[in-house]
Structure 1
Amino acid sequence: MNKNFSICFISFFFLFFFSIMNFFFMTYFIMHNMVIFMEWELISFNSMNIVMSILLDWMSLLFMMFVSLISSCVIFYSKSYMSSELNLNRFIILVLMFIMSMILLIISPNIISILLGWDGLGLVSYCLVIYYQNWKSFNAGMLTALSNRIGDVFILMVISWMVNYGSWNYIFYLNFMFNDYEMNFIGVMIIIAAMTKSAQIPFSSWLPAAMAAPTPVSALVHSSTLVTAGVYLLIRFNDLLINLYMFKLLLLLSGLTMFMAGISANYEYDLKKIIALSTLSQLGLMMSILSMGMADLAFFHLLTHAMFKALLFMCAGVVIHMMSDNQDIRYMGGLSLYIPLTSLCLNISNLSLCGIPFLAGFYSKDLILEMVMMSNLNMLIFYLYYFSTGLTMFYTIRLMMYLMINDYNLLSIYNLYDEDYIMLKSMFILLFMSLVVGSFLSWMIFFYPYMIYLPMNLKLMVIYVSIMGLIMGYLISNMNINSLNKFMKTYSLSLFLCLMWFMPNLSTYGLNYFFLKFGQKMIKNIDMGWSELYSGQGMFNIIKNYSIISSFLLMNNFKVYLYSFILWMMIMFLMIIMN
């Protein structure tokens, strides 16, 4: 165990130091408006060069700082959370590989090194989702891997298409090729790849399924790494994509994702899945504001969301441990009396998610909603934004009612304690960041202030929908059995809404099942059927028959057959002469 302990601490200190170093570099780069582009040649053969490129600017350094800070807290937290794990070293190494893949993705201006990071994220996330080795984990891992493979295929198509440009450094081709149809085609493929990785409709079903992974992995994956990779890629490609009609479709799909995730979270009873659906909702928010052309706002919300969402997952992990590994919120209740410090972290991260003023989420979310109000958009997008904001408040208050206020329903004899200081220390780092990071980033990354002038009613619209969501969450949580029976009249609608609009069924039994079944038939009929009969097995039979004939001739006095053959030829010759 000491060896495991040392690996955890070495990883924690290295990543924490790396994040502080990135912070100082980032402030220097912003002050001096610097960008470093490094490229070195790996192989040169005639006119072909294979090069490795790195792009360091304030955006990549800031994102690396956040990823490494959250990762260091997650690894420190894992020391206690995964203490009963025999192979803790293996788990830590997988997490470190995951972080390295994300950092490679962040600093790459080259589409090939992006693919390496992108595929590394997909592969290691599969290993982490199936970490607990049961059927549920295997199914979730397969759904995650197959959904992400779609995006990998589109990135590969982009690589093959960019051969036409003579270089894979996409960063050089973004600004001056707006009317180039080939670059527009590349843009469409990049958007589809980002939609699969960031789980937008119709690829949303893998994100709640990936909750089968250990909770520290969920804290890392669903805050700053895997699911934000698609958003970060679109932020980098934003100059190219802004004129595409596909961006308008992305705006609609991401708005629907936000709406669908908010509704599904209100029907869900699994603690981790509620938080996963809230992540999906926030990803929809990031993608939609990105598709309106405001990449800086999307990046701002990505960073603030990473902090409080990682904290929220860590608190959920502590609560699940306390509840004897039970994730159903109906068994929980009154936690604020027994685990006050964890409850403090949970409530602050939840309120930050809702956008309560002067917490991290407020600065980005309020700004995004007011910019939507200023934009020239139709009523549908406006409705999706504000209704989804109300739903965020709705499921957050419902969660807090179930966890903090309702009665404890699990065991008659229980011992809830809040003295796991390893977990609490890592949570308090993120708690501090969740409090200050919104104001800190809003001063640092915007080069000019957003000035938003709105009528009073529109300015207060965010507060109106938040209060409505708060009241609805309170009323729904306090419903008695007679009120709940009324929902049975809309059972079919409730089933449709709580099952993410049947998307898991479509992904699992529709697309993936169809392709897997098709692959099985191809293997059975072609690989093990016709091709076997006419290539491998067929050649084997032909050669076997020839060898049987030749051995028969050799073993049975070849000369007899030779003489009889010569005799037969002479008889034929004589008959020809006589005729």
Structure 2
Amino acid sequence: MQKYSICFISFFFFFLFSVMFFFFVFYFLMNNLIIFLEWELISFNSKSIVMSILLDWMSLLFMSFVLLISSVVIYYSKSYMSSDMNLNRFIILVLMFVFSMILLIISPNMISIFLGWDFLGLVSYCLVIYYQNMKSFNSGMLTALSNRIGDVFILMIISWMLNYGSWNYIFYLNFMSNDLSMNIIGLMVILAAMTKSAQIPFSSWLPAAMAAPTPVSSLVHSSTLVTAGVYLLIRFNNLLIDVIFIKFLLLMASLTMFMSGVSANYEFDLKKIIALSTLSQLGLMMSILSMGMPDLAFFHLLTHAMFKALLFMCSGVIIHMMMDNQDIRMMGGISFYFPLTSLCLNISNLALCGIPFLSGFYSKDMILEMVSMSNLNLFVYLLYYISTGLTMFYTIRLLMYLMVGNNNLMKIYNLYDEDYIMLKGMFMLLMMSLFSGSLLSWMIFPYPYMIFLSFNMKLMVIYVSIIGMILGYLISNMKIYSINKFMKSYKLSNFLCLMWFMPSLSTYGMIYMFLGLSQKLIKLIDYGWSELYSGQGIFNIMKNYTIFYNFFQVNNFKIYLFSFILWMLMFMLMIFMK
């Protein structure tokens, strides 16, 4: 019992605070209330160091959801990580991760945002390398170094904001939008958010972070690490809407959506398929943000957090029972063995696809209809709808591999669905996946969006979803031989499966280029010239002088005699010269 005490305490308090914050949200919304707290940490002469905290309905609602998912994940980890000898260490790492995210959420100040932002990257590295094998170490380094790029941009924003006299960006958003610095700060915020939310060309770290334990993936890919960039852009949205680089963000986010949707259709690792679907939804959030609709992006962020956390938890149960096998080709017919887990998995998958009246429908459908009403070009418009069809495509493919057909396992394992600790946590999120969409749409939007579209454009989402569903069913059953042959062509599938060669081109290429340069510099300067003329050089000179003086000291009589004779000869020579 002592082993699990920290789990129960964390779960209880997180859940309690989550419910409390959720009720605060109603009060803040009804009274249109914003609380700005300043806590003076140190006062020295005329200088004071102040910690600022911003509490409004958005930060409280996001904190409530983060704490709810964290409490469920910690409760789930009690069973999932029960065989781990260092369970308390794992829970403490998760707690540090959650607290750093909360610091980022409530910060109106660039310094405290940077502390939360950087601490997220550091703790995520510790969690990704948790299993301590070579694959985990490589994935952790990839994650950490990719996120360091965003940290550098945040540092540059901090140094640039010295021009304004304070780091409380929340006061300067309207002022900055009329200033020359707008484009510079806007570009840095966009690039920082793109690294943290894994947009092209920084996408390759997100599937690699799947090396972490599944409860961590459930937390990271739903409401914490990857959503930090989206949340930062929501806060900076007043500034960014006039920045010229916002169109660049729209293009990159739309391409990210499309690329991850295609790559998920070629992937056979269960967790990586779900990670790529997270990447697709992040692209959707970022692109709708770049079109100036932060409320919609925040709405989708919250609904997505619920069903994505549930999806990862279901995949964790399946992987756990399959003795750590993640290949979907080795699965099949699991609905006979895991009926309750299959129920949760199917509902969360359908919510991801935007099936009517599940939570994902309320946000995705509204986003796509607002896109149809917007003044967009045809290329981005097509990317949006093709990506929506691809979501249905890889979801049906996943369900066909997992649920339908015979069991394809090489061995028969002891498959059962009676881990009640995991199931209780999953059922809590199942309820939220069913009801959070309608509940949040009533809360966040005080008036309904008026959307006027023609009949065919209104049904466009249904059309692409049905096409995606049919193609997913046919291709996973290998009924369309020509398309299947096209999909299995080696060069094309290699290109698409490896995320358009992005790990090789962007992350590995860039990181190892700089690491190679650093290695050459350290060899040339630290171990080369500076060593020759400073450390080793001084050592050699002192050593030679010491040997020389030692020679005098040890051979004193001979040397003195030789010196006396030498002096006498010189003296006689001088006399002779005179």
Same fold (TM over 0.5): yes
Give per-residue Cα distances to partners, 1:245-300, cap 9 Å, x unaligned.
11110000000000000000011111100000000000000000000110111000
Instruction: Please name the residue that 2:156 is paired with.
Output: 157
Q: CA 1:381–1:267 in structure 2 vs 1: closer, same or farther (change >3 Å)? A: same
Instruction: Please name the residue that 1:219 is paired with.
Output: 218
Q: CA 1:553–1:470 in structure 2 vs 1: closer, same or farther (change >3 Å)? A: same
Percent identity of equivalent pairs: 76
1:162, 1:174 → 2: CA distance? 11
Task: Give the CA deviation at 1:416.
Answer: 1.9
1:553, 1:47 → 2: CA distance? 65
2:212, 2:323 → 1: CA distance? 17
Q: Are the counterparts in 1 of residues 182 and 243 from structure 2 also a CA contact under 8 Å?
A: no
1:439, 1:485 → 2: CA distance? 39
Task: Give the CA deviation at 1:487.
Answer: 2.9
Q: Are the counterparts in 1 of residues 263 and 498 from structure 2 also a CA contact under 8 Å?
A: yes
Residues 326-335 or 227-236, more deviating = 326-335
Residues 278-287 or 83-92, more deviating = 83-92
The AA in structure 2 aligned to 1:317 is G
Instruction: Please name the residue that 1:195 is paired with.
Output: 194
Task: Give the CA deviation at 1:568.
Answer: 8.9
Instruction: Please name the residue that 2:96 is paired with.
Output: 97
Task: Give the CA deviation at 1:544.
Answer: 2.8
Instruction: Please name the residue that 2:112 is paired with.
Output: 113
The AA in structure 2 aligned to 1:306 is A
1:44, 1:532 → 2: CA distance? 45
Instruction: Please name the residue that 1:426 is paired with.
Output: 425
1:406, 1:433 → 2: CA distance? 30
Task: Give the CA deviation at 1:164.
Answer: 2.0
3-state SS in 1 of match to 2:96 = helix
Instruction: Please name the residue that 2:123 is paired with.
Output: 124
3-state SS in 1 of match to 2:52 = strand
Instruction: Please name the residue that 1:140 is paired with.
Output: 139
Give per-residue Cα distances to partners, 1:98-141, cap 9 Å, x unaligned.
00110111111111111111111111111111111111111111
1:269, 1:514 → 2: CA distance? 30
Instruction: Please name the residue that 2:370 is paired with.
Output: 371
Q: CA 1:101–1:550 in structure 2 vs 1: closer, same or farther (change >3 Å)? A: same
3-state SS in 1 of match to 2:343 = helix
Task: Give the CA deviation at 1:483.
Answer: 5.5
The AA in structure 2 aligned to 1:58 is W
3-state SS in 2 of match to 1:52 = strand
Instruction: Please name the residue that 1:317 is paired with.
Output: 316
Residues 487-496 or 59-68, more deviating = 487-496
2:335, 2:26 → 1: CA distance? 39
Q: Aligned residue pairs: how many? A: 576
Q: CA 1:177–1:534 in structure 2 vs 1: closer, same or farther (change >3 Å)? A: same
TM score, norm. by length of structure 2: 0.95
Instruction: Please name the residue that 1:273 is paired with.
Output: 272
Task: Give the CA deviation at 1:425.
Answer: 0.4
Give per-residue Cα distances to partners, 1:347-384, cap 9 Å, x unaligned.
00000000011110001000100111111110011001
2:272, 2:366 → 1: CA distance? 27
2:46, 2:68 → 1: CA distance? 42
Task: Give the CA deviation at 1:406.
Answer: 2.2
Instruction: Please name the residue that 1:468 is paired with.
Output: 467
Instruction: Please name the residue that 1:59 is paired with.
Output: 58
Residues 546-555 or 338-347, more deviating = 546-555
2:560, 2:277 → 1: CA distance? 88
2:98, 2:252 → 1: CA distance? 29
Q: CA 1:24–1:482 in structure 2 vs 1: closer, same or farther (change >3 Å)? A: closer
2:89, 2:339 → 1: CA distance? 33
Residues 42-51 or 325-334, more deviating = 42-51
- RMSD of aligned alpha carbons: 2.1
Q: Which runs of 5+ in 1 are unaligned?
A: none
Instruction: Please name the residue that 1:300 is paired with.
Output: 299
Q: Are the counterparts in 1 of residues 269 and 326 from structure 2 also a CA contact under 8 Å?
A: yes
Q: CA 1:408–1:481 in structure 2 vs 1: closer, same or farther (change >3 Å)? A: farther
Q: CA 1:572–1:310 in structure 2 vs 1: closer, same or farther (change >3 Å)? A: farther
Structure 1 moving runs of 4+ over 6 Å: 557-576
Q: CA 1:527–1:401 in structure 2 vs 1: closer, same or farther (change >3 Å)? A: same
3-state SS in 2 of match to 1:479 = coil
Instruction: Please name the residue that 2:40 is paired with.
Output: 41
1:177, 1:52 → 2: CA distance? 22
Task: Give the CA deviation at 1:566.
Answer: 8.0
Alignment of 1:529-548 (within 5 A): 529-548=528-547
Give per-residue Cα distances to partners, 1:292-328, cap 9 Å, x unaligned.
1101110000000000000000000011122221111
Task: Give the CA deviation at 1:222.
Answer: 0.3
Task: Give the CA deviation at 1:571.
Answer: 7.8
1:290, 1:547 → 2: CA distance? 72
Q: CA 1:572–1:97 in structure 2 vs 1: closer, same or farther (change >3 Å)? A: farther
Task: Give the CA deviation at 1:480.
Answer: 5.6
TM score, norm. by length of structure 1: 0.95
The AA in structure 1 aligned to 2:121 is G
2:506, 2:249 → 1: CA distance? 19
The AA in structure 2 aligned to 1:320 is I
2:430, 2:309 → 1: CA distance? 10
Alignment of 1:177-188 (within 5 A): 177-188=176-187
The AA in structure 1 aligned to 2:16 is F
Q: CA 1:176–1:163 in structure 2 vs 1: closer, same or farther (change >3 Å)? A: closer
1:291, 1:499 → 2: CA distance? 27
The AA in structure 1 aligned to 2:4 is F
Q: CA 1:412–1:546 in structure 2 vs 1: closer, same or farther (change >3 Å)? A: closer
Task: Give the CA deviation at 1:167.
Answer: 1.3
The AA in structure 2 aligned to 1:218 is S
Residues 153-162 or 142-151, more deviating = 153-162
Instruction: Please name the residue that 2:330 is paired with.
Output: 331
Residues 361-370 or 175-184, more deviating = 175-184
Instruction: Please name the residue that 2:285 is paired with.
Output: 286
2:509, 2:374 → 1: CA distance? 38
3-state SS in 2 of match to 1:175 = helix
Task: Give the CA deviation at 1:563.
Answer: 7.1
Q: CA 1:492–1:18 in structure 2 vs 1: closer, same or farther (change >3 Å)? A: same
Q: CA 1:537–1:375 in structure 2 vs 1: closer, same or farther (change >3 Å)? A: same
Q: Are the counterparts in 1 of residues 183 and 244 from structure 2 also a CA contact under 8 Å?
A: no
1:412, 1:70 → 2: CA distance? 34
Give per-residue Cα distances to partners, 1:221-250, cap 9 Å, x unaligned.
000000000000111111111111111100
Q: Which runs of 5+ in 2 are unaligned?
A: none
The AA in structure 2 aligned to 1:41 is E
The AA in structure 1 aligned to 2:533 is Y
